[in-house]
Structure 1
């Protein structure tokens, strides 16, 4: 839609409106969590709905495996690896992450061969430390080389305050993440690998005749991913995502004292994000929103439309008393060009202007021919004399 004639530039309020800012602040204050560090993000708008010490660096525990699987998915996407590849389970992988290690394990037998497909499932569903090591050794030649690839990809996707030393998240000097970075990582996995993402909601996986359930407590409550983690240093943490009514949220939290507290607080944060906010469409793109009067044209009016939809994510119910007014500089002198900017829609609450959206002519209105213009002038003059 081209603009043939522009109105004077209008001042347009940004989405972070003064009136709505108060509503956001009130909504955020209404929620609190016992988690020492947490963040909640609306994926569609990238808006932070809640945060608490979200940039505080902490040991990642098994949440580091999200970065590990991101590297693996990236290698598969670039043709550097295939799921039917097989790797041998080294003694180091068995001793460090296997059955006798005391940590989460896929129970890989030393000296056995295992496919990359099974390793991915063992990592995501069973949180196997042995699976992470076998993948790092098989794909990159060792832990250190794989960690370099983790950090390179982390920098590429914007994890600015995280550093990885190993693929499994066991304690290591210098290894740290933040909840904001993990939320960014979760969004990356969801958006970049949509065909792989359903794996994060797989409830169990059986390998070596041993079935283990997914540790994510939110899978039974509407979430569809992603990962839990725990060490003595990091406490109990979780990165999760859920969707409802076309909206998707991502949350990350850590530092809780028990798996029960993690499940409770994660559930509360998820419900807060899905139930306490709504996306409101104020104007549809190219949908008629009003009319402007035209003088001297083949039509006495022209339909007004907005070029882009106006959608806002707001605390639920906060726009209940918002009104819309159509303002134009009519009557518009013909000719009016299609796409000509001819007015704006003003959204307000009481005397407070919230947003102004430019409106455009949906179609052209040519000038009347000379005879009709003379007739209109005479009629207008007679109507004036008759007053």
Structure 2
């Protein structure tokens, strides 16, 4: 019997400022335990916080198969976003990138020594899972596929993917090519957050190139309108894998299943995880962006107080029935001294359930506070000497 667990893990992607408590400090878990699934590993993550809701072998490095291409597509998307690439740039198809297509290899069917635009390549990678498109883009960006793999590993490190190591842009088997289910959830979260212009491609059901139309292999896109991505994978070594995301009633979850026994199994297991997650949790928003949350004391400033606000909603995922039990308190950073820039951290808001810390999020200065004149600063120093 596989060991199931329910855990709270601080977010590692997107620079999120939400910090969550450990399970030992948590009041009560969900009423129903997570499902028991026949696979090598799985993760269910709350998108907003990066919190792991359920997992089995979340840290185990496993062959990710074509889910590797999420990192390939992410690097392409960020290159487009930064202007290093343009959608209309033409990409050459080398002998190394070209493929005919076999039972062990999926292809976009790019012509040998031909070209295709970056945006077509991106669709070919995401929708058709094209190994040829992945290799061609790797060579276009980094010169060689091994050099591109180095970029993949640097990006994985930046995102906090601690159990991943990439050797290629496709996910074709290599003994050193591994990723954990938790790491792939982190990557999926980064794609959804950072690639908003291109994320809708992950929901497209088919793509036609070179007069060959191929369908997206993510079966949930055809059966569940709340699912809008991300990527399937399969090799004989990896088994059947699926990273997916669904959004229902303002709540987004990310699921990663690795090592299932069939295409049907990976889809059914993902459905089971989403059903459990959306059924057992609800969203609580005890404080919203811009709402006045008090004023932090400031020393040696033209103003003695600065309004403290949230940069984003204090949004929490809690087990159903516990939203009304969430209490909040504000703590200011002691010894704040002018000058203070607008947006500087001046404290935090803390959420508790039954008196136990559940989560916290920084508060920032709503406006800048300039340093006071010489005489005011001198007077405040004199008062501080007398403990006033």
- C-alpha distance in 2 between matches for 1:37 and 1:147: 24
- Among 29, 37, 54, the alignment partner of 1:24 is 29
SS state of the match for residue 109, structure 2?
Answer: coil
Distance 1:316 1:116, change over 3 A: same
Aligned ranges 1:114-153 → 2 under 5 Å: 114-153=116-155
Equivalent residue number for residue 378 of structure 1: none
Q: 1:175 aligns with which of 174, 177, 185?
A: 177
> Judging changes above 3 Å, is the alpha-carbon distance between structure 1 residues 122 and 15 closer, same or farther for their aligned structure 2 residues?
closer
Aligned partner of 1:246 in structure 2 is 250
| Preserved contact between residue 17 and residue 354 of structure 1 (Cα < 8 Å) | no
Which whole-Å CA distance do the structure 2 matches of 1:17 and 1:51 have between them? 15
Structure 2: distance between partners of 1:208 and 1:286: 51
How far is 1:32 from its partner?
2.3
Deviation at 1:131, TM superposition (A): 0.7
Q: How many residues align?
A: 305
> Which of 252, 258, 261 lines up with 2:262 in the alignment?
258
Residues 16 and 135 (structure 1), Cα distance of their counterparts in 2 relative to 1, 3 Å cut:
closer
Offset at residue 171 of structure 1 (A) = 0.5
Q: Provide the rounded CA distance (Å) in 2 between the counterparts of 1:266 and 1:323.
A: 30
Q: 1:11-59, CA deviations, whole angstroms, 9 ceiling, x for partnerless residues?
A: xxx96498983531654x3432222201111111222111110000111
Report deviation, 1:65.
Answer: 0.3
1:92 positional shift: 2.1
Scaled by the length of structure 2, the TM-score of the pair is 0.70
Range with greater deviation from structure 2 (55-64 or 272-281) = 272-281
- 2:159 is aligned with 1:154: no
Q: Does 1:47 align with 2:47?
A: no
Spell out the pairing of 1:1-387 with structure 2 (5 A cutoff): 16=21, 21=26, 23-24=28-29, 26-27=31-32, 29-94=33-98, 97-99=99-101, 102-220=104-222, 221=224, 222-282=226-286, 312-318=316-322, 322=325, 353=355
2: distance between equivalents of 1:311 and 1:133?
40
CA pair 206-45 structure 1, distance change in 2 beyond 3 A: same
- The answer to whether the 8 Å contact 1:60/1:169 transfers is yes
**Contact 1:347–1:353 under 8 Å retained in 2:** yes
Task: Name the Cα RMSD after superposition.
Answer: 3.3
Q: Which residue of 2 aligns with 1:341?
A: none
The secondary structure found in structure 2 opposite 1:92 is coil
| 1:312/1:77 CA distance change after superposition, 3 Å | closer
CA-to-aligned-CA distance 1:337-359 (integer Å, 9 cap, x gap): xxxxxxxx9987xxx546799xx
Structure with more of its chain in helix, by fraction: 1
Per the TM alignment, residue 70 of structure 1 is displaced from its structure 2 partner at its CA by 1.2
From the CA coordinates, give the structure whose radius of gyration is larger: 1
* Mapped partners of 1:267, 1:109: distance in 2: 37
Per the alignment, residue 329 of structure 1 pairs with none
**Structure 2 contact 230–245 (Cα < 8 Å) conserved:** yes
Measure the CA separation in 2 of the matches of 1:263 and 1:112: 36
Deviations 1:191-214 (A, max 9, x none): 111111111001100011111111
Q: For the Cα contact (< 8 Å) 2:327–2:352, is it kept in 1?
A: yes
Distance (Å, rounded) in 1 between the aligned partners of 2:108 and 2:327: 59
DSSP-derived class of the 2:140 partner: helix
Q: In the superposition, relative to structure 1, how do residues 312 and 186 fare at CA in structure 2: closer, same or farther (>3 Å)? A: closer
**Equivalent position SS for 1:254:** strand
Q: Normalising to structure 1: TM-score of the pair?
A: 0.70
Distance of 1:43 and 1:59 partners within structure 2: 24
Is the CA contact (8 Å cut-off) linking 2:44 and 2:55 kept in structure 1? yes
| Post-superposition offset of 1:116 | 1.2
SS at match of 2:29: helix
Judged with a 3 Å threshold, the aligned counterparts in structure 2 of structure 1 residues 226 and 200 are, in CA distance, closer, same or farther, namely same
Q: Partners of 1:268 and 1:186 in 2: how far apart?
A: 19
CA deviation vs aligned residue, 1:351-370 (integer Å, no higher than 9, x gap): x546799xxxxxxxxxxxxx
Find the aligned partners of 1:131 and 1:323 in 2 and give their Cα distance.
49
Q: Which runs of 5+ in 2 are unaligned?
A: 1-18, 293-307, 330-349, 361-388
